[in-house]
């Protein structure tokens, strides 16, 4: 059964995973960025509606609830039924997950529950891990938490830096995330009805 839902991708950076999602012909209704970034240009060049919802404040006074409300409004305007974060660097308030339920996904560059947070690749290296990878999971109001949908493993090589290791992890993310999204959109993969 075809699930009728618009897919929104949230981005902040390079956008190589967004690029892979587009290349794999996953239908993307809108791309929203919290800053000017290469990912936004990728969406524009692909002719996908691209919205810049600029985050002006990265300090302690950031109005997280206000930003989340504006983002929810933009996504609803585009009839979004599934949200995929792909390198999106703003942590959203819980109202976002109330609005979209389990239909918010994220990709994280570690084998969760190991190495949560913004420095997952460097942290895996520093811990002396011989293996790490990526996790596609349902996003919740808790950082890098939520049900795990798929994981891909990557071996840590001698001489790896955070950059070389992250790039090999991203190669796996570029294959895995589009596939998970395709499976959900085609109804081959059922998301749970509610958060575990
Ligand atoms: C990915 O490794 C993702 O897991 C992390 O940010 C990176 C995004 O890469 N959250 P890109 O911007 O798509 O190249």
Strand order in the sheet with 30-33: 50-52, 30-33, 6-11, 80-85, 104-108, 131-138, 148-155
Residue 2 has pLDDT above 50, yes or no: no
Unique residue bearing structure tokens 């959900």: 184
Closest ligand 1 atom to residue 85 Cα is 10
108 has catalytic annotation: yes
% of the chain at pLDDT higher than 90: 92
Residues with CB under 6 A from ligand 1: 13-18, 39, 86-87, 107-109, 134, 170, 173
State the distance from the centre of ligand 1 to the C-alpha of 187, rounded, in angstroms.
25
Q: 170, 177, 175, 172: which is closest to 14 by C-alpha?
A: 170
Which residue out of 9, 12, 13 has the highest number of ligand 1 atoms within 8 Å of its CB and is therefore the one to mutate?
Answer: 13
- pLDDT 10s digits, 41-82: 999 999 999 999 999 899 999 999 999 999 999 999 999 999
Instruction: Point out the catalytic residue in the list 108, 119, 137, 195.
Output: 108
Whose C-alpha lies nearest to ligand 1, atom 14?
16
Tell me what pLDDT residue 3 has: 42
Length of the chain in terms of residues written: 196
- Output the pTM of the full model: 0.95
Ligand 1 center to residue 1 CA distance, Å?
Answer: 31
Tokens 């979209």 correspond to 100
Average pLDDT for residues 15-33, to the nearest whole number? 98
């Amino acid at each position: 059964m075809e699930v009728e839902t618009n897919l929104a991708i949230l981005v902040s950076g390079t956008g190589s995973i967004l690029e892979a999602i587009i290349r794999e012909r996953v239908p993307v209704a809108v791309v929203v960025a919290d800053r000017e970034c290469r990912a936004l240009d990728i969406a524009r060049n692909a002719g996908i509606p691209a919205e810049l919802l600029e985050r002006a404040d990265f300090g302690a006074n950031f109005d997280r609830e206000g930003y989340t409300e504006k983002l929810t409004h933009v996504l609803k305007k585009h009839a979004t039924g599934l949200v995929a974060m792909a390198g999106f660097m703003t942590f959203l308030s819980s109202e976002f997950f109330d609005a979209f339920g389990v239909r918010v996904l994220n990709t994280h560059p570690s084998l969760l529950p190991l190495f949560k947070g913004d420095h997952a690749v460097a942290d895996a290296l520093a811990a002396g891990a011989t293996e790490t990878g990526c996790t596609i999971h349902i996003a919740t109001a808790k950082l890098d938490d939520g049900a795990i949908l798929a994981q891909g493993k990557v071996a840590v090589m001698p001489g790896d830096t955070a950059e070389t290791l992250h790039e090999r992890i991203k190669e796996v993310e570029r294959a895995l995330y589009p596939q998970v999204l395709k499976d959900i959109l085609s109804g081959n993969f059922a998301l749970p009805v509610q958060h575990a």
